[in-house]
Chains A and B, each alone.
Chain A
Amino acid sequence: GQQVMQIPQYQHVQEGEDFTTYCNSSTTLSNIQWYKQRPGGHPVFLIQLVKSGEVKKQKRLTFQFGEAKKNSSLHITATQTTDVGTYFCAGRGQGYSTLTFGKGTMLLVSP
């Protein structure tokens, strides 16, 4: 079945440093979504990418979808302590397939 791998599992940065998490799917995706889960909270939707090569920005966050629609990345510029949490990618295969989540990247930001 479809597998979604996400790296790194964990990253600790100093406030102001950049951060990137990568997501790779074993199959071509129809779309990829990104979620953020704060400690003790539930996943909250950040963005959805649909088109090959798509790049979207939300303030300091930049999301990319690969040309082959099998990989994606989330880049945070100049991290802040409010960025702390676990970032998940989730890929949807073709048709009415399930949404498969990566295992997430836990981001810790020290002031």
Chain B
Amino acid sequence: KAGVTQTPRYLIKTRGQQVTLSCSPISGHRSVSWYQQTPGQGLQFLFEYFSETQRNKGNFPGRFSGRQFSNSRSEMNVSTLELGDSALYLCASNGQASTDTQYFGPGTRLTVL
């Protein structure tokens, strides 16, 4: 089975712009979670989608949003980018929400200038 794929792998944006990141889970996995990883804060949970419904949401401002499509692919959007949004954004899929392990993709490295 192919692993979790994320596009793009690297992205450079300027403050105030918006960005959309994409994640394709492992075939057959219906749950997709997004995490933000920074050196100071570690891995922070953004949101989880299961069968196109947001199941859980972390403590991030409304500028961070996401969605999941019927084929389980997911996108996350960040509007009005701030310097502090620079991070590695990781997507993870699992086969059964709340019980299975997280299979992480390679991440998207976002730099905000």
Contacts and interface: CB of A to CB of B under 8 A. Distances in A.
B90 A96 contact: no
Interface in B12-68: 33, 35, 41-45, 48, 55-56, 58-59
B67 to A, nearest CB: 18
Interface of A: 1, 31, 33, 35, 41-45, 48, 88, 90, 92, 95-104
A104 B42 contact: yes
Given A1-B59, A42-B107, A45-B103, A100 B45 contact: yes
Interface residues of B, number: 24
Contacts of A43: 43, 90, 92, 102, 104
Contacts, number: 52
Given A98-B56, A103-B42, A92 B98 contact: yes
A38 to B, nearest CB: 12
Contacts of A45: 101-103
Nearest to B100: A48
B107 A99 contact: no
A46 B97 CA distance: 18
Contacts of B102: 33, 35, 43, 45, 90, 99
